[in-house]
Each structure stands twice: as C-alpha cells, then as structure tokens.
Structure 1
Amino acid sequence: MKKMNILKTATAALLSLFAVSLSACSDDDTVGAQTAKTYDMGGFAKGADVSWLTEMEANDIAFYDATGRKNDCMKILRSLGMNAIRLRVWVDPADGWCGQQDVVAKAVRAHNLGMRLMIDFHYSDSWADPSKQNIPEAWKNYTLEEMKQAVANHTRTVLEALKKAGIDSVEWVQVGNETTTGMLWPMGKVSNGNFANFAQLVNAGYDAAKEVYPKTKVIVHVDQGNKLGKFTWLFDGLKAAGGKWDVIGMSLYPGDSDWTTEVADCLTNIEKLKQRYGTDIVISEVGMDWNSEQAEPCLRHLVDGAKKVPACEGVFYWEPECYNGWKQYAKGAFDNSGKPTKALDAFK
C-alpha cells in the first residue's frame, strides 16, 4: 500500500508539472505579439513555503487571482511580488508528499518561473518542530557515526536530484527545522548544555549541502524570533561545539493583540544577532490568521521593516495557499474562495 501511495504521489506530481507546462503561455506570459511581463527575482527574498501545494492540487483544490481568474498558485504568488519558494523535505513520508520526488517536482516548477529556492530538511519522516524531532524509522538504531552518514547521504541525494533536474542553484539549505533544542532526538537533543552531538549532525548536513551546491547558504532555524534568549542560547552552544552555519533562520507567528511588540522585537533581534555572530538572518516562516484584520498591517510592518535591516535576507510566508479549512490550518493567506488576501500585498 505504501509503495502504491508513493507511486500515486509521483504520478500526480508529474501530471501537475505537465499541466503547468501546458499553461506556460497563459495569463502573464507572452501571448501573440504581447511582451511577457518580467519580474525582479533578485535582492531581498520575498517568499513562501508552499510544500502542501501538490497535495492540494491532487485534491482538486484550485487557486484564483484577485479578479477571480483561475491560475497556477506559484504564478499568483509571483505576480504578488514573491521571488522565492521554500520546500520541506521528509525522509520517507507515509503518503509520499514532501518526499524527494514530490519536492523535485515543485522545485522545478518554481525554478521554471525564475524563483529562488530554499530547501528545508526536517530529517524526519514527518513534522519536526520544537515539540518533536523524531528519527526516521529507517534510522532508528543508528550509532552517532551512522546517523551523521545518513544525514549527509539524505542531504546529498535530494540536492543531487534537484541538480539532475536542471536546478543549477539552491540559494538556501535548512539543516533541520526549528531545531530549538537540537534534532534527531534523543541522539541530537541538547541536554545539560551538551551540544556535541547536535553540532556534529548539523555539520554533516552542512558539508553535504556544500558538496552539491558550494555557494548555497546553510541555515540553522529556531522558532519565536521575538525571543532573543532562545537564539543566543542555541547559537552560543552550537558555536562552542564547532557547529557551522551561514544564516540564522527565524519563525514568527504574531498574535493579534501583541503583534506590534513581537515584530519590533524580532527586527531588533536580527540586528543583535548579526552583531553577535556576524551572519545574516532570514525569517524562514511567518503567518497569521487569514481573516484577522491585523494580518495586513502586521505583514506590511514586518516586511517593510526587514527590508531596512541589511542583515535580513528575506521573509517567507508559511503555506499562504491554504484556505477553506485545508488540514485545519487557519494561518494561510488565501480567503475561502481561493483568492489571495490583502496580507500578501506586503510582498509587492
């Protein structure tokens, strides 16, 4: 059954890619004698994590621009000013979604639209976050040396598949997702101030990523960007243990009542972390309730403020394409009719 599900997923992804290629000359592309619209893909990264996209499409969920015209989701995001896409990778997901084949299919679509890429390795068969960092089932009984090799092999294999698919550049690679107290628990969990295992696992991913894409910037990612102490504790310990990173990744999910303070603290922390470690920062994830009246001003304040901080490389909205109760997630940025909300105007 599992192999059948994975085959179904791969087939759906390929069909999705084929459908996108057929529509490549529609909407904002060259039509007849008209000149194709051009987009600025450089500079400050204005991005979105759309890892659920192919699964949504396989469930016949469609996307519409502000006028109600049906279009490809990534094209809609690009028309709103986004120039980068973030995609999560799971090792052996039960249904195939967010596995290697699915990630390559989505990455090729983004690449063909000229968008930059961030690849987010969870090093798990499913979600990894501050509350769980589960070892993949196939790696359960590994020693530390075997685990380091598995991290390196998985990182290398996925990135080599992207390169083989014609993607010549992956701008960022995230080694672990929201690794606030380490990853691959219990082996890589930071306890009693011992960062040694975590640092070795991070370095295994770091080195493998550089083998495939030497210019990629490797991110270590922590949640709650408004709380400086979480970052200094983690990165002081990681640095002392010999851990390597190029960019610090942040998550920020502000609340309606205190978003002004959370955003202000986050922007201040970016500058403080740059001063402390000498590395840039990227807001890898941000989100707010799709129907909140505070979503638009919050996102505008965050994106505009981040652009003014030289140390910040960009802001990525987490799963903005979610709408109408998809996976019970309410922090997307499309309304219940499948059209983008005004919150995404912040990325124009």
Structure 2
Amino acid sequence: MKKLIIATSLLLAAAMGCKKYEMPGNTPATNPILEKMVRGADVSWLTEMEAAGMKFYDTTGKQTDGMQLMKNVNMNAIRLRIWVNPSGGYNNLADVLAKAARAHALGMQLLIDFHYSDSWADPGQQTTPAAWSNQDITALQTSVYNHTHEVLTALKAKGIIPVWVQVGNETNNGMLWPLGKASEHMDNFALLINAGYKAVKEIDSHIKVIVHLSNGYDNGLYKWMFDGLTANKANFDIIGMSLYPATVEWQTPNQQCEANMRDMVSRYNKEIMLCEIGMPATSPVATNYFIRDLYTRIHNLPDGKGLGLFYWEPQAYNRWQNYLLGAFDNTGKPTFAIDAFR
C-alpha cells in the first residue's frame, strides 16, 4: 500500500482547503453502529517510530503509550504486518511478537498480515523472499505453510491467538511473483492461499482467513479475482479491501465501495473487512466523515456480513517516512479524524 499512496500524497495535500461537509449519521457520542464493529488500526510502524524518539500524546497533551492511545480512542483491534527476513529487522517475528503482546495485554483483537516478502508487498510488487527465490511452486507452498505456522505457533506460545489472518497483502495480481502471479497462474495463487489457510486452521480453526485486495471501489477487479480463486478452489473466509480515496472527495469512492461489498456478499457469501483505509492527515474533518460514513455502509451490509475497518498507521505524524495519510497532527496528537472511532 505504502509505495502507491506516497506517490499521490503530495497532490492530495495541495488539494486540501476549507470545505463544508454534511455530517452523516449520528454524532460520535451517540453512534450505536460502532458497538459491535471492528474498530482497528494498523500500527506496524509503532516500534520503529519509538526507536526513532517519536512520542505520542492524547488531545490534552499528556504523553501516552502509542498502543494504549489506540485503546483510549475506542479502538478494539490492531493489525500488524509480518515480513519474512527484513533487512532492518522491523516487522520480523521478534518485532511482531513484541507489538502483539502489547495489544493482547490491552485486550485488543489481533489481525496478522502476512506479506510473504522481505519487504513491502502491494499491487505493484510481490517479491518472493530471497530465501525462497529458487523454489518451484511445490516448494513455495511448503514455505508459505511453514512461515505461517511458525509465526502463529510463536504467538500461540505467548497465549495470543489472532482473530484474523491475511494470507497475502493487497494481492490484486497474486503474490510470490512470478509463480504466484494471478494473471498468469491463478491456479498457483490458489495453491499458495490454501497452503497458508491450512497452516492457520491447524493452529486454531476459529481464526478467519482473509484474502485482501486494494481499490475497494473496483468491482471488476474483485469479480475477476474471486471468480478465479473460486474456480480454483481457494479456501478463505473473508474478503478484505483497501480504500484510499484519490482525492479528499470521499463520497463517490464510499458509494462504489458499498456497491462492491454488496456484490461480493451476494456472489460469494463471504464476510467483508476494510483492512486498510486512509485520508490526508491535513483533512481531519473530511476523514472523520469518511470513516463514519463507511461504518454506516459496512453495518448495513446484508446478513451482518460487514465486520468493520482498520485505519492504516494513524499514528504516523510529522511526515514519518513521507507518509501523509495518518490521523495525528505534527505534534503527535490524534486529530478529529480519530473521533470517528469514539
């Protein structure tokens, strides 16, 4: 996600300005929709930011632990990415275990996001880990299974069972390229998903497995992918989506995303999770309404199939790693955007 979003962030920042929005739904203080929804954040950068000396504060200016701050703003779930052998160490097993333990101690639910790469995996890059680079599709299935099983076993040893696991991140064209590229080898991609699925269910059959694509407004992409995976007998429980409106005007993307979510429920009878969302940090009012409107649309999906959403790295501030779509101001405090979770 990060690579694609940064390229447009500067354009979005220039597009901000004072603009009036109609408030959707109930006010934050009386919104009953949130009660049973997943209210989450991906805070995978947290330990790296802390090591760099970044600190976090509540709206009164009181310094607060970053994970605790997510709990304090009424979030109930944390998403963490895991890489296979990252060069800098962050997002490796040890780092993920440390962050997961902090979330678990706060009573928060956990989503583990397997990238199956040594670095970022997204629609533009799904690079096979260096240690797996010469493997054929049979060996890659074993590597996916072993890596997934190892990570979840380590979590379970600490008494932590994730509620959800993503088998791949923003896999618009599969993962573990070239052998797992969906446009060329949809059958291989399904095999790789099933290898991860098998490992997850062996750890705990109650963990729900997510297949995650970006561009939640793009119904054509989702039909192509999930028709292909279904035809190739891929196993998964939840359809995951990302949604990052290309401009500060969020209304049309939200409408398109709702139409896509409803179509996915109708076609595949699967639950839906918004695994990543984001809007410019300089536009907190619009972002607040964007989130609240999404919650209404998710809540209204047929048969209770809408689960909730995760904001991607809301705690990123002061242009951390050139990312401009967080939900904190430049002093390390949450903005009005975060009030959408209260």
The TM-score with structure 2 as length reference comes to 0.87
Give SS of 1:195's match.
Answer: helix
2: CA distance, partners of 1:305 / 1:200: 33
Q: Which residue of 2 aligns with 1:290?
A: 281
Q: Which residue of 1 aligns with 2:205?
A: 214
Q: Percent identity?
A: 50
Q: Which residue of 1 aligns with 2:321?
A: 327
Q: Using CA pairs under 8 Å that are at least 6 residues apart, name the structure with larger relative contact order, 1 or 2.
A: 2
Equivalent residue runs for 1:68-107 within 5 Å = 68-107=61-100
The Cα of 1:261 is off from its aligned counterpart by 0.6
Q: Which residue of 2 aligns with 1:184?
A: 176
2: CA distance, partners of 1:224 / 1:71: 34
The residue type paired with residue 224 of structure 2 is: W
2: CA distance, partners of 1:176 / 1:325: 27
**Per-residue Cα deviation, 1:195-233 (whole angstroms, up to 9, x for no partner):** 110000010001001111211000000101111111110
The residue type paired with residue 100 of structure 1 is: L
Aligned residues: 306
Would the aligned equivalents of 1:124 and 1:135 in 2 still touch at CA under 8 Å? yes
Q: Which residue of 2 aligns with 1:263?
A: 254
Q: Which residue of 2 aligns with 1:279?
A: 270
The Cα of 1:271 is off from its aligned counterpart by 1.5
Change beyond 3 A, Cα 1:104–1:288: same
Q: Which residue of 1 aligns with 2:167?
A: 175
**Per-residue Cα deviation, 1:156-187 (whole angstroms, up to 9, x for no partner):** 000000011121x2110000000001000001
Q: Which of 90, 113, 117 in structure 2 is aligned with 1:124?
A: 117
Q: Which residue of 1 aligns with 2:147?
A: 154
Change beyond 3 A, Cα 1:122–1:42: farther
2: CA distance, partners of 1:154 / 1:52: 21
Runs of 4+ in 1 over 3 A off after TM superposition: 255-258
1: CA distance, partners of 2:198 / 2:87: 28
The residue type paired with residue 40 of structure 2 is: G
The residue type paired with residue 246 of structure 1 is: D
Q: Which residue of 2 aligns with 1:301?
A: 293
The Cα of 1:78 is off from its aligned counterpart by 1.1
2: CA distance, partners of 1:251 / 1:265: 13
Change beyond 3 A, Cα 1:139–1:123: same
The Cα of 1:42 is off from its aligned counterpart by 7.7
2: CA distance, partners of 1:175 / 1:89: 11
2: CA distance, partners of 1:179 / 1:100: 22
Name stretches of at least 5 consecutive residues in structure 1 with no aligned partner: 1-40
Q: Which residue of 2 aligns with 1:12?
A: none
Q: Does 1:337 align with 2:334?
A: no
The Cα of 1:257 is off from its aligned counterpart by 4.6
Change beyond 3 A, Cα 1:176–1:268: same
Change beyond 3 A, Cα 1:63–1:230: same
The residue type paired with residue 227 of structure 1 is: D
2: CA distance, partners of 1:258 / 1:345: 19
1: CA distance, partners of 2:157 / 2:328: 33
Equivalent residue runs for 1:304-319 within 5 Å = 304-309=296-301, 310-319=304-313
2: CA distance, partners of 1:257 / 1:98: 30
Q: Which of 116, 130, 135 in structure 2 is aligned with 1:137?
A: 130
Q: Does 1:59 align with 2:52?
A: yes
The TM-score with structure 1 as length reference comes to 0.86
Q: Which residue of 1 aligns with 2:15?
A: none
Would the aligned equivalents of 1:271 and 1:311 in 2 still touch at CA under 8 Å? no
The residue type paired with residue 337 of structure 1 is: T
**Per-residue Cα deviation, 1:16-59 (whole angstroms, up to 9, x for no partner):** xxxxxxxxxxxxxxxxxxxxxxxxx9831000000000010111
Would the aligned equivalents of 1:152 and 1:208 in 2 still touch at CA under 8 Å? yes
**Per-residue Cα deviation, 1:253-280 (whole angstroms, up to 9, x for no partner):** 0133531010111122212111100110
Q: Does 1:227 align with 2:221?
A: no
Task: Give the root-mean-square deviation of aligned CA atoms.
Answer: 1.3
**Per-residue Cα deviation, 1:234-270 (whole angstroms, up to 9, x for no partner):** 0000110111110000000013353101011112221
The Cα of 1:76 is off from its aligned counterpart by 1.2
Change beyond 3 A, Cα 1:328–1:313: same
